[in-house]
Amino acid sequence: LESLQERESLGSTGFGRGVAIPHARIDGVPRPVAVLMRLDNAVDFAAADGMPVDLVFGLLSPQNAGASHLHALAAISRLVRDEAMHQAMADASDPEALYALLTNVSDRDAA
């Protein structure tokens, strides 16, 4: 958590449109790990558009991840910039529906 706070102190990871992508590189993390949280109550993330955040993609990568960390951030960014996907994530009725959306994207991109 401390590494995420340190990264956030460099500048907000509030992406805009109610999305934040906090991320950090950490010793001891064996491979990139992402988590998606949809918050019941939106929070201020100092996003450029001023919108409070209710969709948080967290990304932790090994300290030496280099390009793989940047590629993961770029993939998340593309995902949330896609208007249809953004709306589908906002409309997902429960965590299982949200997970299914992301799984379908992952399967589609792997093909």
- In this structure, what CATH number is given to the domain that contains residue 56? 3.40.930.10
Catalytic center residues: 23
Show the domain range for 27. 2-103
How many angstroms separate the CA atoms of 59 and 38, rounded? 15
pLDDT in tens, the chain (111 residues): 688 788 888 888 898 999 999 999 999 999 999 999 999 999 999 998 999 999 999 999 999 998 999 999 999 999 989 999 989 998 998 989 999 998 887 666 654
- CA distances from residue 58 to 72, 76, 111 in whole angstroms, order as listed: 11, 10, 25
Please give the pLDDT value at position 88: 92
Instruction: Say if 110 falls within a structural domain.
Output: no
**Contact between residue 108 and residue 85 where contact means Cβ atoms under 8 Å apart:** no
Instruction: Say if 24 falls within a structural domain.
Output: yes
Please give the pLDDT value at position 22: 94
